Amino acid sequence: MGDAIITIKAGNKSVQCTVTVHDYLDFYGGIGEFKSAIEKNENALFLRLNVDIQVEDFPDFFPIVIPNGKTVHIDFNKHIVGYTFSSKENCIYAFFVNNGGKLFLKSLADDIEHIKSFLTYDSKCTYDEYYQNTGSLIENRNGGLLVVEKIEIYLIYDQLFEETEIDNSIAPNYVINNLDGELSIVESYISLHNQIIFSDKEAIIFNGEKSKATISGENFFNGSKVLVNYGVIELFSAKTIEYFWTPILNYGTITEISVGNVFTPEKNTSFVHSIGNKAIIGKISGGAFGAYFGEVMSTLFEFSNGARLGEITGGSFYSEEAEFVYKGGDITKLMVIKGISGGEFSHEVPKNLLDSGYTCVFDSEKGMYIVTKK
What is the model's pLDDT at position 1? Answer: 46
User: What count of other Cβ atoms lies within 10 Å of the Cβ of residue 318?
Assistant: 20
Please give the residue that has the higher pLDDT: either 248 or 35: 35
What is the model's pLDDT at position 166? Answer: 40
- Does 212 reside within a domain? yes
What is the model's pLDDT at position 337? Answer: 84
CA distance 226 to 126: 23
Report pLDDT digits (tens) over 21-58: 567 899 999 999 999 999 999 899 999 999 999 888 88
CA distance 338 to 366: 26
CA distance 325 to 252: 20
CA distance 48 to 74: 6
User: Residues 342, 364: contact at Cβ < 8 Å?
Assistant: no
User: Residues 120, 95: contact at Cβ < 8 Å?
Assistant: no
What is the model's pLDDT at position 300? Answer: 66
- The mean per-residue pLDDT over the stretch 149-174 comes to 54
CA distance 206 to 140: 10
What is the model's pLDDT at position 332? Answer: 62
Nearest to 263 by CA among 296, 227, 288: 288
CA 307 to chain centre: 21
3-state secondary structure of 60: helix
Question: Amino acid identity, residue 155?
Answer: L
User: What count of other Cβ atoms lies within 10 Å of the Cβ of residue 305?
Assistant: 12
Domain with 85, as residue range(s), is 22-245
- Does 351 reside within a domain? no
Return the percentage of the chain with pLDDT > 70, whole number: 67
Residues in the chain: 374
Strand partners, 104: 73, 147
Please give the residue that has the higher pLDDT: either 337 or 161: 337
What is the model's pLDDT at position 239? Answer: 79
CA distance 313 to 344: 10
Task: Give me the DSSP letters along 151-215.
Answer: -EEEEEES----GGG--TTSPPEEEEEESSSEEEEES-EEEETT----STTEEEEEE-TT-EEEE
Nearest to 96 by CA among 213, 175, 207: 175
- Does 184 reside within a domain? yes
Q: Of the segments 49-63, 119-133, 317-331, which one has the largest average pLDDT value?
A: 49-63
How far CA 118 is from CA of 44, 105, 146, in Å, comes to 23, 10, 16
Sheet with strand 248-250: strands edge to edge: 64-66, 96-99, 136-141, 173-178, 202-207, 227-229, 248-250, 270-275, 300-304, 326-327
Number of structural domains the chain divides into = 1
Least confident of 43-47, 151-155, 157-161, 189-193: 157-161
- Does 101 reside within a domain? yes
Q: How confident is the model at residue 79 (pLDDT cuts 50, 70, 90)?
A: confident
- Does 194 reside within a domain? yes
- Does 30 reside within a domain? yes
How far CA 124 is from CA of 62, 190, 197, 370, in Å, comes to 18, 20, 18, 50
How far CA 50 is from CA of 24, 27, 111, 237, 342, in Å, comes to 11, 6, 16, 31, 49
Please give the model's pTM, rounded to 2 decimal places.
0.83
- Does 284 reside within a domain? no
Q: Residue 101 class from Cβ within 10 Å (0-12 exposed, 13-18 middle, 19+ buried)?
A: buried
* Residue 370 host element (H or E): strand 368-373
Angle at Cα 323 formed by Cα 320 and Cα 327, nearest 5°? 110
Report pLDDT digits (tens) over 315-326: 888 776 555 555
Classify residue 67 by its DSSP letter.
P
What is the model's pLDDT at position 35? Answer: 96
Please give the residue that has the higher pLDDT: either 6 or 14: 14
- Does 104 reside within a domain? yes
- The mean per-residue pLDDT over the stretch 60-73 comes to 94
